[in-house]
Amino acid sequence: MEETTPDRPGICDYEGSNYRTEFWEGQGRDYEDRVERVALKKLLPERGKHLLEIGAGFGRLTNEYTERYDRVVLLDYSFSQLEYAREHLGASDKFTYVAADAYELPFRPAKFDGVSMIRTIHHMKNVNGVLREIARVLSPEGVFILEHANKRNMKAIVRYALRRQSWSPYSHEPYEFVELNFVFHPHYMRDMLALNGFEVQKRMPVSFFRLGALKRRLPLNFLVKADDLLQNTGAFISPSVFVKSIRRAEVPYPKDITGSTSIPTDGMDVDPLFACPKSGGPLVREGDHLVSLKTGLRYAFRDGIYDFKAAVNE
C-alpha cells in the first residue's frame, strides 16, 4: 500500500471486489446503464484515434468506444477488474490494459485524442490533481467526457428542505458522504475544468428516475426515453451529470510535449506511449518489463496487463 500525500490522498480500492455482480448484473440497474449509454452516444465524437478510459472497471461501457475509436486504453487501479475486462473483451490490438493510479498517469504528454471517466471522479479527493493529469495526456483540442455525481440532486434538495439532511446541496464545495465517496456541485466541476485548461462544450443531467419505486412500476423503455428527453433540458437536479470538454490548445503542457529527454536513448527500444509514473521520464522495453531510464524503476507486463501500481525488483 502506497502512502497517501496531498496529491494522492487515498484510493478507493476495488481490488478483488465483486463490483460487477454486486452492483450491476441482476441488481436492477438496467435503467442507469442504459441512460448512461444514451448520454455517451450523444457526447462522443463520431471518430477518434486513441481513447483513454479512466476507471474503466470491468469494461462495462467500453463497447461504446470501440466502434468510434481505433484503440482503447482501459486504465484502472484494480488489476482484478481489468483481468475480467480482458477476459471479456479479448486480447486484440484494439485494447490496452493498464493498472495504474489516475493521479499519476503512466503516459507521455498529449498521447490521447479522447479521455472518458465515468462513475470514477466521485472517488477522488484531489479533483484538481486528476484533471491536471488528464489535461497533460490529452492532445490539443482532445475531447474529455466526464461523469460526476451531482450534489444538487432532487433527493438531496427535498431532504435538505425537510431538514432530514444537514449538508446543503447548494454550496459549491464537494461533500464526502462516505470515506472517498464525494458528490460535486455542477458549478464546482465546471470551474475545476476551466481551471485546468478545459473548455466546457456541453453539460447534461442524466439518470432522473433513479428511484426503486419508479423503476419497478414504469416500463424500462419509457424511463429511458423520458431521461433521453430530459437530458437536453439543462435541469441539473439529476443524480448524475455528464460533461463534454475540449482541452484548450493554447494551454501549455507542463513538460516537453514530445516527451523527449536529455538522457541518450539511441538504439534503445523506447516505448512511444508510456512514461514512468514517478518521474515522467521515458521507459525502455526489456522483455516483459518497462524500465525507467531516469529512476531505474521497473514495471511488469503480466497476464496481458501493464502493471504500474508498484515497481518490481527483478
**Shortest separation between residue 271's beta carbon and ligand SAM, angstroms:** 20
Whether 193 and 134 have beta carbons less than 8 Å apart is answered as no
DSSP 109: T
**Shortest separation between residue 78's beta carbon and ligand SAM, angstroms:** 4
**Shortest separation between residue 286's beta carbon and ligand SAM, angstroms:** 25
Selected from 39, 102, 131, 305, the binder of ligand SAM by CB under 6 A is 102
Q: Is 12 in the site for ligand SAM (CB under 6 A)?
A: yes
Query: Which range of residues in 75-83, 191-199, 221-229, 292-300 is near ligand SAM by CB under 6 A?
Result: 75-83
Q: Over the Cα atoms of the chain, what is R_g?
A: 20
Q: Is 94 in the site for ligand SAM (CB under 6 A)?
A: no
Q: How far apart are CA 37 and CA 31, in angstroms?
A: 10
Question: Any idea what the Cα angle at residue 229 is, between residues 183 and 199, rounded to 5°?
Answer: 55
Nearest Cα to 63, choosing from 126, 125, 141, 116?
A: 116
Selected from 64, 76, 227, 271, the binder of ligand SAM by CB under 6 A is 76
Q: At 294, give phi and psi (nearest 5°).
A: -75, -45
Ramachandran quadrant class, 81 (left: phi over 0; alpha: psi -120 to 50; beta: rest)? alpha
Nine-digit cell string for 67: 466502434
**Shortest separation between residue 314's beta carbon and ligand SAM, angstroms:** 25
DSSP string across 111-168? -EEEEEE-S-GGG-S-HHHHHHHHHHHEEEEEEEEEEEEBSS-HHHHHHHHTTS-SS-
Nearer to ligand SAM, 60 or 71 (CB): 60
Q: Is 57 in the site for ligand SAM (CB under 6 A)?
A: yes
Q: Is 60 in the site for ligand SAM (CB under 6 A)?
A: yes
Query: Which range of residues in 12-20, 160-168, 207-215, 303-311 is near ligand SAM by CB under 6 A?
Result: 12-20
Q: How far apart are CA 79 and CA 185, in angstroms?
A: 31
**Shortest separation between residue 197's beta carbon and ligand SAM, angstroms:** 21
- Window 105-124: contact mask with ligand SAM (x via CB under 6 A): -------------xxx--x-
Q: Is 131 in the site for ligand SAM (CB under 6 A)?
A: no
Q: Is 11 in the site for ligand SAM (CB under 6 A)?
A: yes
Q: How far apart are CA 261 and CA 283, in angstroms?
A: 11
Q: Is 103 in the site for ligand SAM (CB under 6 A)?
A: yes
Tell me which residues touch ligand SAM (CB under 6 A).
Answer: 11-12, 14, 19, 55-57, 60-61, 76-78, 81, 101-103, 118-120, 123
